[in-house]
């Protein structure tokens, strides 16, 4: 039964109680939430219950706060119906009461039949408004469901292999602003017993897996006031995208995603005969970078061939893929592997050869064959990933890993890696010969001149008259780094120069390089340079004084 919450305010106790009895006699659906003696008590009560009342019956003249002031105060924040009961016949009171929102004005002594009649009229108004609000909420929910369905369809198109999303136009405008992470779920090698499964068995398990992912991603999104989208991929793949309205560092978001992935993996192990591997892209704030996230998530999933199934693979920044995705003890080997990848992205064969020589010289000093195999496998994977604008060609990774495992000595392994490096460098050079460098220089000038402003991918791409998604690929092909990483690097470089000026305060420098939040700027600076802006400034001053 619908309840109608009623608050009665009058400075005369006998009248308050009489009104309460009259309202109660109109039906048990009328709930007298309180009877109070002045407007201030009523205002405190209403604010304390967040304005959850349907009808206010109040006198006009009362101590502390009168009825008209009370109505005016609560009208600012809450919606309700108001019935004025007063002994004053002055029309000015009536006029003011109606202007403040009263639905009627009754004079004392109260006519019981007239009050009941007004109460029933107000009940009808309340019911009508509730029905209208319910219909509006249903329409909003239906609209949200339709919007979510359209967004999921769009994301499904974007993650489909071979789709040219440059034709989708400004599709990211359909999504809220915030930080995003793309997550790929892929069932591991299926148990032998699944060979006897019928179509209905697979349909049931597919439903369970998809709903586990959808439900637990939704729980995570709600916990951090964000949103999530989940959809089916190809074969035994599933995708999810998590959006959080965060300004924290990328590592924080990565930990949130890792925790959610762990819950999903545990639930799938509990309720199905499967295990599932998870790979998560780096955090992005501009959805035009989503194609890069797709490639990154798919590439990270390749680590399953090295580490086995039921693992979580992610990275906070691209250059740390090997450090975070695979536990290898010798970080120097990983650093050399990263240098080789960078040389490939810059199409520098000399640099790649130099790093490879140092790498294999160091490997010759290793005594653990398993450690050597693990290091080589990761470096080979990083070579295939370097500068790759598409997914790794089907079978190339598997064949390369097979040759590495079967190689009789380190020299043969070196030849395999060397051939892969040279092939990737040649591919990168070929791609760049086909591109026109003009838009790249225009973009760099725009960035350099506007580091203090908001620089979105869309703004930069519009400036050079290119589709944002295509421009992201174009920029990385030309430079070896993403557009957002380039903007961040330019801002940090500018900040380093500004920090040498003692007249500039830290928050002023933060704004000058495009960051309104000085705490976020300081964290990003430390992540890039290895020390806080204040520490860096002290070192700069020390060098100047020593000269």
Whether 202 shows a pLDDT value over 80: the answer reads yes
Whether 327 shows a pLDDT value over 60: the answer reads no
Distance CA 481, CA 282 (A): 13
181 strand-pairing partners? 242
228 strand-pairing partners? 242
**Model confidence over 222-233: pLDDT tens digits?**
998 899 999 998
Strands of the 237-244 sheet, one edge to the other: 227-232, 237-244, 179-187, 276-280, 312-314
- Average pLDDT, rounded, for the chain: 81
- Say if CB 57 and CB 8 are below 8 A apart: yes
Average pLDDT of the segment spanning 484-498: 90
Which residues are CB-neighbours of 125 under 8 A, at least 6 positions away?
81, 103
Closest CA relative to residue 107, chosen from 63, 75, 72, 61: 61
Which residues are CB-neighbours of 9 under 8 A, at least 6 positions away?
16, 35, 36, 37, 38, 39, 41, 42, 56, 57, 58, 59, 62, 67, 70
Closest CA relative to residue 4, chosen from 83, 117, 119, 101: 119
State which H helix or E strand residue 416 sits in: helix 410-433
pLDDT for the residue 260? 95
Whether 387 shows a pLDDT value over 60: the answer reads yes
SS3 98: helix
Whether 2 shows a pLDDT value over 90: the answer reads no
HEC secondary structure over 197-261: CCHHHHHHHHHHHHHHHHHHHHHHHHHCCCEEEEEECCCCEEEEEEEECCCCCHHHHHHHHHHHH
pLDDT for the residue 164? 61
- Does CATH place domain 160-319 in 3.30.70.270? yes
Q: How confident is the model at residue 218 (pLDDT cuts 50, 70, 90)?
A: very high
State which H helix or E strand residue 61 sits in: none
Distance CA 297, CA 277 (A): 11
Average pLDDT of the segment spanning 127-150: 83
- Say if CB 498 and CB 536 are below 8 A apart: no
DSSP 130: H
Out of 211-220, 321-330, 437-446, 527-536, give the one with best mean pLDDT. 211-220
Which residues are CB-neighbours of 272 under 8 A, at least 6 positions away?
205, 208, 209
Where exactly are the structural domains of the chain? 4-133, 160-319, 328-434, 438-546
**Model confidence over 71-112: pLDDT tens digits?**
888 887 888 888 888 766 655 656 566 665 566 677 777 778
**Model confidence over 418-466: pLDDT tens digits?**
888 888 888 877 766 665 557 888 888 889 889 989 888 889 988 888 8
Residue with tokens 């961040």: 488
Architecture, CATH, for domain 328-434: Up-down Bundle (1.20)
pLDDT for the residue 220? 94
Average pLDDT of the segment spanning 137-149: 81
Beta strands in 108-203 (DSSP E): 179-187
What is the CATH code of the structural domain delimited by 4-133?
Answer: 3.40.50.2300
Dihedral (Cα; 499, 505, 506, 509), 10-degree rounding: -70
Distance CA 374, CA 108 (A): 91
Q: How far is CA 140 from CA 126, 134, 137, 357, 397, in A?
A: 21, 10, 5, 63, 48
Decide the pairing of beta strands 102-107 and 227-232: unpaired
Structure tokens belonging to residue 285:
């704030």
Rounded percentage of the chain residues whose pLDDT exceeds 70: 85
Distance CA 207, CA 475 (A): 40
Average pLDDT of the segment spanning 122-150: 83
Q: How confident is the model at residue 188 (pLDDT cuts 50, 70, 90)?
A: confident
Superfamily for domain range 438-546: Homeodomain-like (1.10.10.60)
Whether 320 shows a pLDDT value over 50: the answer reads no
């Amino acid at each position: 039964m619908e309840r109608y919450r009623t608050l009665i305010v009058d400075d005369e106790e006998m009248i308050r109680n009489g009104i309460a009895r009259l309202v109660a006699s109109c039906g048990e659906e009328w709930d007298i939430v309180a009877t109070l003696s002045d407007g201030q008590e009523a205002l405190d009560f209403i604010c304390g219950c967040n304005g959850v009342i349907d009808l206010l019956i109040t006198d006009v003249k009362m101590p502390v706060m009168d009825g008209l002031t009370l109505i005016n105060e609560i009208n600012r924040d809450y919606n309700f119906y108001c019935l004025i009961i007063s002994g004053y016949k002055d029309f000015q009171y009536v006029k003011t009461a109606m202007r403040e929102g009263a639905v009627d004005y009754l004079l004392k002594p109260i006519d019981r039949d007239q009050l009941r009649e007004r109460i029933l009229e107000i009940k009808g108004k309340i019911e009508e408004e509730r029905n209208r609000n319910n219909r509006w909420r249903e329409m909003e929910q239906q609209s949200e469901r339709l919007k979510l369905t359209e967004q999921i369809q769009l994301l499904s198109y974007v993650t489909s292999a071979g789709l040219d999303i440059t034709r989708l136009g400004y599709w990211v405008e359909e999504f809220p602003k915030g930080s995003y992470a793309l997550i790929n779920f892929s069932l591991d090698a299926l148990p032998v017993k699944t060979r006897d499964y019928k179509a209905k068995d697979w349909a049931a398990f597919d439903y369970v897996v998809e709903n586990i992912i959808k439900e637990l991603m939704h729980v995570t999104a709600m916990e951090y006031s964000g949103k999530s989208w989940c959809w089916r991929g190809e074969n035994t793949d599933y995708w999810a995208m998590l959006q959080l309205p965060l300004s924290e560092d990328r590592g924080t978001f990565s930990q949130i995603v890792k925790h959610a992935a762990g819950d999903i993996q545990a639930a799938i192990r509990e309720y199905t005969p499967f295990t599932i591997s998870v790979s998560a892209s780096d955090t992005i704030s501009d959805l035009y970078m989503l194609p890069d996230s797709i490639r990154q998530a798919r590439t990270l999933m390749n680590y399953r061939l090295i580490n086995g199934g039921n693992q979580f693979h992610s990275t906070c920044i691209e250059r740390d893929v090997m450090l975070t995705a695979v536990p290898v003890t010798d970080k120097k080997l990983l650093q050399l592997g990263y240098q080789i990848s960078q040389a490939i992205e810059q199409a520098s064969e000399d640099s790649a050869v130099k790093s490879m020589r140092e790498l294999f010289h160091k490997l010759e000093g290793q005594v653990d064959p398993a450690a050597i195999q693990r290091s080589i496998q990761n470096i080979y994977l990083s070579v295939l990933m370097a500068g790759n604008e598409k997914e790794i060609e089907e079978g190339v990774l598997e064949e390369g890993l097979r040759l590495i495992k079967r190689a009789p000595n380190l020299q043969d392994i070196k030849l395999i890696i060397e051939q892969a490096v040279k092939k990737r460098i040649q591919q990168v050079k070929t791609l760049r010969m086909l591109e026109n460098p003009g838009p790249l220089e225009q973009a760099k000038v725009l960035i350099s001149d506007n580091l203090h402003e908001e620089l979105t991918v869309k703004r930069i791409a519009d400036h050079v008259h290119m589709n944002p998604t295509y421009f992201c690929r174009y920029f990385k092909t030309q430079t070896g780094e993403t557009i957002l990483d380039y903007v961040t690097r330019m801002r940090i470089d500018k900040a380093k120069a500004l920090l040498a000026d003692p007249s500039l305060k830290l928050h002023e420098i933060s704004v000058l390089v495009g960051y309104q939040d000085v705490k976020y700027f300081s964290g990003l600076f430390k992540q890039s340079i290895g020390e806080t802006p204040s520490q860096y400034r002290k070192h700069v001053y020390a060098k100047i004084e020593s000269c």
